[in-house]
């Protein structure tokens, strides 16, 4: 049975003290419990080392939201995958549409970032998804396929075992416009079929595919009820402990 997961992506929200307070709130609520899904929080780089200490005796796992495509050296302002790993983080979110849109990260660059993360023992939550115009033109499958082929399909089956996918239709992120459960299921099943063609049925069945985009405490259960939706990557609703906990319990 593949792993189910609810992961938070804090994006560029919360200063260090606020982030620690949120991590403490989640830790108190989840300590000693066994959530039905894996629980991950993705925080800004500067929070990682401190939050790692806060959550260390809880079931919560830690993720970065990005890492460099370079190994080390004179790259002012960059943070390497090795540095991320040294904080205690286990995961790295890569390929988020905000990184693609605002920081011009393309498939080729993301391919390098994925390799750096894996080389350093990080697991990757890799985001894919189409923009509104692409969905309106019926091109969503094509877009998602080229994102997978361009950044991940160079990986061996063994490497791919460390990838969690997140289907995040860009038109649904932060807009309140959620994909319908049918749209999510249809795309997740399509993604799984692509994985089956490339890596075989076993890997396709074992790969966790999350939905992201205005997933919240109210609609999570309906989205997660679909057979190919293995959980969620949550933005806004991961910033409030009660909402995030409701979503975790919906999985
Ligand atoms: P929202 O949940 O705020 O729409 O963000 C989704 C997202 O981008 C998670 O990575």
- The CATH number of residue 83's host domain is 3.20.20.70
Q: Is the CB of 26 under 6 A from ligand 1?
A: no
As a whole number of angstroms, the distance between CA 136 and CA 140 comes to 8
Give the H/E segment covering residue 5. strand 5-9
**Predicted pLDDT of residue 1:** 82
238 vs 34: CA distance, rounded Å: 19
Q: Do 47 and 11 touch, CB atoms closer than 8 A?
A: no
The Cα 226–Cα 13 span in angstroms is: 30
Is the distance from the beta carbon of residue 210 to the nearest atom of ligand 1 less than 6 Å? Answer: no
Around Cβ 76, how many Cβ atoms within 10 Å? 4
* Coil/strand/helix, residue 41: strand
Contact 64, 48 (CB under 8 A): yes
Determine whether the shortest distance from the Cβ of 173 to ligand 1 is under 6 A: yes
CA angle 111, 128, 205 (to 5 degrees): 95
Smallest CA separation from ligand 1 atom 2, residue: 235
How far are the Cα atoms of 111, 168, 183, 187 from residue 226, in angstroms, in the given order? 29, 16, 10, 11
What is the domain count for the chain?
Answer: 1
H or E element at residue 185: helix 181-199
C-alpha of residue 42 to centroid of ligand 1, in Å:
12
Q: How far apart are CA 192 and CA 204, in angstroms?
A: 5
Which of the listed residues 212, 215, 244, 246 should we mutate to test ligand 1's pocket, taking the one with most ligand atoms within 8 A of CB?
212
Note down the domain range covering 242. 5-250
What pLDDT is recorded for position 177?
86
Other C-beta atoms lying within 10 Å of the C-beta of residue 2: 12
In whole angstroms, what is the distance from residue 133 CA to residue 101 CA? 14
**Res 184: pLDDT:** 97
Q: What letters, b where the CB count within 10 A reaches 16 and e where it falls short, cover 44-75?
A: beebbebbbebbeebbbbbbbbbbbbeeeeee
| Beta strands in 65-215, from DSSP E residues, in sequence order | 91-94, 123-128, 163-167, 209-212
By most ligand atoms within 8 Å of CB, the mutation choice from 14, 43, 169, 174 for ligand 1 is 174
What average pLDDT values come out for the chain (251 residues) when binned by 10 residues?
Answer: 96 98 98 94 98 97 98 98 98 98 98 98 98 96 98 98 97 90 97 98 98 96 97 98 97 92
pLDDT of residue 176: 85
- Active-site amino acid positions: 96, 168
The ligand 1 atom at the shortest distance from the C-alpha of residue 96 is 10
Is the pTM above the cut of 0.85? Answer: yes
Nearest atom of ligand 1 to the alpha carbon of 236: 3
Q: How far is residue 64's CA from residue 80's CA, in Å, rounded to a whole number?
A: 11
Q: What is the 3-state secondary structure (H, E, C) of 65-76?
A: CCCCCCCCCCCC
The residue whose CA is least distant from atom 5 of ligand 1 is: 235
């Amino acid at each position: 049975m593949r792993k189910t997961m609810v992961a938070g992506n804090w994006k560029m929200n919360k200063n260090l003290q606020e982030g620690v307070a949120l991590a403490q709130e989640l830790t108190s609520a989840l300590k000693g419990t066994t959530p039905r899904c894996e629980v991950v929080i993705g925080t800004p780089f500067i929070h990682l080392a401190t939050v790692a200490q806060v959550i260390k005796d809880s079931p919560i796992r830690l993720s970065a939201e990005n890492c460099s495509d370079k190994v080390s050296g004179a790259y002012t302002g960059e943070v390497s995958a090795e540095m991320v790993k040294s904080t205690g983080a286990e995961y790295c979110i890569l390929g988020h549409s905000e990184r693609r849109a605002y920081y011009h990260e393309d498939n080729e660059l993301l391919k390098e970032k994925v390799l750096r993360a894996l080389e350093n023992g990080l697991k990757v939550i890799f985001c894919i998804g189409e923009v509104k115009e692409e969905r309106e033109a019926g091109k969503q499958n094509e877009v998602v396929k080229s994102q997978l082929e361009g950044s991940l399909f160079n990986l061996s089956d063994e490497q791919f075992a460390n990838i969690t996918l997140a289907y995040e239709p860009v038109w649904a992120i932060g807009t309140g416009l959620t994909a319908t459960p049918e749209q999510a299921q249809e795309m997740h099943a399509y993604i799984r079929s692509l994985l089956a063609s490339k890596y075989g049925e076993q890997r396709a069945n074992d790969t966790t595919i999350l939905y992201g985009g205005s997933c919240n405490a109210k609609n999570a259960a309906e989205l997660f009820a679909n057979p190919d939706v293995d959980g969620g990557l949550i933005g806004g609703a991961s910033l409030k402990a009660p909402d995030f906990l409701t979503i975790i319990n919906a999985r």
